[in-house]
Amino acid sequence: MTRDRRIILHVLGEASIPLTAEDILERVNASQPGMALSTVYRTLDELISRSSVQRTLLSNDGHAFFELMGSVHRHYMVCLGCHRMFPFSSCPVGDFADSAAEELNFEVTDHSLVLYGYCRHCRLGRQSQGSE
């Protein structure tokens, strides 16, 4: 409905990986300077409540990440060197979750899976230098 909501959805649509609120603000301001960070958060809340956007759980470092509510089920590998995120769509959790949950009489509605490690580029750096 509103202009800002449209802009933020567009930014999230362009991104292939989850963004932080600051990331979003930065990209919005690149084309439409002037938006406040609080507007980003408020709009994200709105979009989350409409199930257009979801927060994703990617690190414990205090940042929240946001992405369009997935048409496709995806997970990410997060590089501990450069902190880039690499999406992948295969997922071993589905059936497993159901059977693991059954033992506890638990009803699983969702899950989060993140692989941590080093991307191709950062592996090279680590091999040749021994440290970052």
Partner DNA sequence: GTAGATGCAAAGTCTTTGCATGTGT
Partner DNA sequence: ACACATGCAAAGACTTTGCATCTAC
Under the binding rule (CB under 7 A), the answer on residue 58 touching DNA is: no
Under the binding rule (CB under 8 A), the answer on residue 113 touching its own copies is: yes
Q: What is the DSSP letter of 72?
A: S
Show the tokens assigned to 56. Answer: 């994703």
Please give the helix or strand (H or E) that residue 55 lies within, else none. Answer: strand 53-56
Phi, psi of 101 (to 5 degrees): -70, -35
Show the tokens assigned to 27. Answer: 């990209």
Per partner kind, with CB cut-offs from 5 to 8 A, the member of its own copies, DNA, none near residue 20 is DNA
Under the binding rule (CB under 8 A), the answer on residue 70 touching its own copies is: no
Under the binding rule (CB under 8 A), the answer on residue 103 touching its own copies is: yes
Tell the smallest beta-carbon distance from residue 6 to DNA (Å). 9
Under the binding rule (CB under 8 A), the answer on residue 132 touching its own copies is: no
Per partner kind, with CB cut-offs from 5 to 8 A, the member of DNA, its own copies, none near residue 118 is its own copies
CB 22, CB 66: distance < 8 Å: no
